[in-house]
Amino acid sequence: MTFNGRYFLIFAFTAVTLYWMSAISGNLIIPLNLTPNPAQAMNNLNVSTASYLGSDADDLGTAVAISPDRTILFTGKIPHHNFGLTPANLLGGGDGVILQTDATGRKLLSLTRMGSIIDDIEVNSRTGKIAVVGDFGLALLGDAQTLLWHQELGSGGSATMSNGRRVAMGTDGTMAALFNKKITIVDERGTVVSEFPIPGKFVEDVAIHSPSQSIIITGYSQKDRGGCRQLQVAFIRSYDYQGNLNWTNYDWTHAEAHGGNSSCADTRGSRLTLGLDGNLYFAGESAGGNTIFRYDPRDLSKDAPNVIFDPYNHPYNTASNHITYYARFGPVTGEIKAGQFNLSRLSSGRGNTIIPRAIAADERGNLYIGGQSSASFANRNESTISGQSGAYAASDNFVLAVPSDLRTRTFMVSWNKGCKGNNQVVGIATGYGITAMISDTAGCDMIMVNPVQGKPQGGMEILYSVWEN
């Protein structure tokens, strides 16, 4: 690892001019755990595959999971195109798909169709059984093409980052399905253990921690009656399997947020995951730098243990542009262990928008965040994928990788080669020595590496990529 002298000059300039910049932006953020000598990020990510998946209609990617046998399962919606495979039609078939590949992503192994869309997937790391949710409800599969049982759960809704249907599965086989702000706990035999509503305006994601028999959810609510005028406030909450509250993070009242050093930036809880290292990981977004994510999630008088080492994780000189925040928590107590911001910047140095839509963590606590970035993220012009350079065009899909100590970026890349439109990574999975992502794209030019489908077929397109850890 080498010293990055360019960043050192930026840090020195930032320290001297911090108050000057804050006067321009209205957002003063004092760096915490500032690391003036970070290791240099990897400039090239070697992937085994980067490929389109899609039909001549609009296609939609939703999630990805990795099975213990190292096969990869991609989910979403792909109308009437079977890639030369004979699909297994479960529950009458439909446009919703599970596409299984080998560990390299280069070989398509099977295609399963059920419902009009499959919204989320999770694999039991002990048994290999597969939980999926969609407009059909919750289903458990013995393998990618064998249905064991399914439960109808309603239509979903009350979320902004998905159809409001998400699923988590613990190592003991217990499943937690989120449908329209309601949690349904189901055991491995398909017996409903409990059902209970989740308070909040929007409920976005769910995780399950089997050792403590708890489920964790995230989302955000609209809070009024305070100095910030209207305000969106993120929450993370843990419940036992019967719906009793264990702990809560953030979820401040409007007055509390305003009193916490005028933390008037809207905040949203976006995604949760139980990392393979046993920790809970959270991804959220904030409309600018004057945010509750600066502070301990249970005490606004204490700074959060946020790691800052350069202008792309130091949220100064921002307006209301949405930026990313991610953090590690203990799943039993909810105590925050470390956190970090990530934002893009215009050529002027002004903060710009970057939003998270996926998160995963491996056995060592290395963290992967995916989503959508406006111009321009760290090292955008220097970063390549298997030696290929991209080009920003209105919005980038991205994956950011950071080590467990958050003190540098392992890499940050986009597959965009100039495609204008809605491009965003919507799912990441890691484990068993591999990482895979799935992205929605506007159906135009993206980086391809050993593709099974080298060209878009028309309309919105799915892109996926696989690499070794």
The pLDDT tens digits for 140-199 are 999 999 999 999 998 899 999 999 999 999 999 999 999 999 999 999 999 999 999 999
Q: What is the pTM of this model?
A: 0.92
CA 68, 274, 429: angle at the middle one, nearest 5? 50
- Decide which of 154 and 115 is more confident: 115
- Structure tokens that stand for 224 in this block: 């009024």
DSSP annotation of 158 reads S
Query: What tens digit of pLDDT does each residue of 57-83 get?
Result: 999 999 999 999 999 999 999 999 999
* Res. 399: pLDDT tops 50: yes
8 pLDDT higher than 80: no
Q: Note the pLDDT of residue 43.
A: 86
The pLDDT mean for the chain works out to: 91
Cα–Cα nearest to 52, from 469, 444, 467, 468: 444
Phi/psi at 346 (5° precision): -70, 165
Query: Which residue did the predictor score with more confidence, 425 or 35?
Result: 425
Please name the residue that has the structure tokens 């993120």.
234
If you average pLDDT over residues 441-462, what whole number do you get? 95
Strands 280-287 and 354-361, by their bridges, are unpaired
* Count of residues making up the chain: 469
Token pair for residue 362? 């491996």
Judge contact between 272 and 216, C-beta under 8 A. Answer: yes
Strands lying side by side in the sheet with 267-274: 267-274, 280-287, 322-329, 336-342
Alpha carbons 131 and 121: distance in angstroms, whole number: 6
- Residue 394 confidence (pLDDT): 87
- DSSP H or E run through 146: strand 146-151
Instruction: Render the burial of 26-52: b for 16+ CB within 10 Å, e for the rest.
Output: ebebebebebeebbebbeebebbbbbb
Is the separation of the CB atoms in 339 and 316 below 8 Å? no
Looking at 15-29, 100-114, 382-396, which range is the least confident one? 15-29
Name the nearest CA neighbour of 397 among 453, 443, 456, 348.
443
Instruction: Please report which confidence band the pLDDT of residue 224 belongs to, taking 50, 70 and 90 as the band edges.
Output: confident
Encoded tokens for 406: 């958050």
Beta-carbon contacts of 113 under 8 Å, excluding residues fewer than 6 positions away, are 87, 88, 89, 90, 93, 94, 95, 96, 97
Q: Do the strands 354-361 and 367-373 form a parallel or antiparallel pair, or are they unpaired?
A: antiparallel
Distances from the Cα of 280 to the Cα of 25, 64, 336, angstroms: 33, 19, 9
pLDDT at 5 over 70: no
pLDDT at site 227: 80
Residue 261: the pLDDT is: 85
- Can you tell me the distance from the alpha carbon of 176 to that of 169, in angstroms, rounded to the nearest whole number? 6
Could you tell me the two tokens for 458?
């028309």
Q: Which residue has the higher pLDDT, 177 or 255?
A: 177
What are 218's two structure tokens?
A: 């995230």
Q: Is the pLDDT higher at 108 or at 6?
A: 108
> Is the pLDDT at 322 greater than 80, yes or no?
yes
Is the predicted pLDDT of residue 20 greater than 80, yes or no? no
Nearest to 462 by CA among 434, 409, 432, 426: 426
Determine the pLDDT at residue 15: 38
The helix (H) or strand (E) run that includes residue 256 is: helix 254-259
Distance from C-alpha of 202 to C-alpha of 204, rounded to nearest angstrom:
6
Confidence at 32, pLDDT banded by 50, 70, 90: very low
173 burial (CB, 10 Å; 0-12 / 13-18 / 19+) is: middle
Least trusted range by pLDDT, from 51-55, 154-158, 305-309, 324-328: 154-158
pLDDT of the residue at 229: 79
> Does 269 have pLDDT greater than 70?
yes
Cis omega before residue 116 (within 30°)?
no
State the maximum Cα–Cα separation within the chain, in Å, rounded to a whole number: 65
**pLDDT-derived band of residue 108, with 50, 70 and 90 as boundaries?**
very high
Task: Tell me the two tokens of residue 261.
Answer: 């050093």
Phi, psi of 255 (to 5 degrees): -65, -40
Average pLDDT over residues 339-361: 97
Torsion sign across C-alpha atoms 41, 161, 298, 194: negative
Whole-number Å distance between alpha carbons of 316 and 311: 8
For 444, counting Cβ atoms within 10 Å of its Cβ (0-12 exposed, 13-18 middle, 19+ buried), the class is: middle
Distance CA 361, CA 308 (A): 20
Predicted pLDDT of residue 31: 41
Q: Which residues contact 452 (CB under 8 A, 6 or more apart)?
A: 49, 51, 53, 83, 101, 105, 106, 107, 108
pLDDT of residue 39: 46
Mean pLDDT of 282-303: 97
Would you state the torsion angle of the CA atoms of residues 403, 408, 411, 416, taken in this order, to the nearest 10 degrees?
Answer: 120
pLDDT at 226: 72
pLDDT of amino acid 22: 37
* Structure letter (DSSP) for residue 452: S
pLDDT of residue 41: 61
Q: For 366-393, what is the mean pLDDT? A: 95
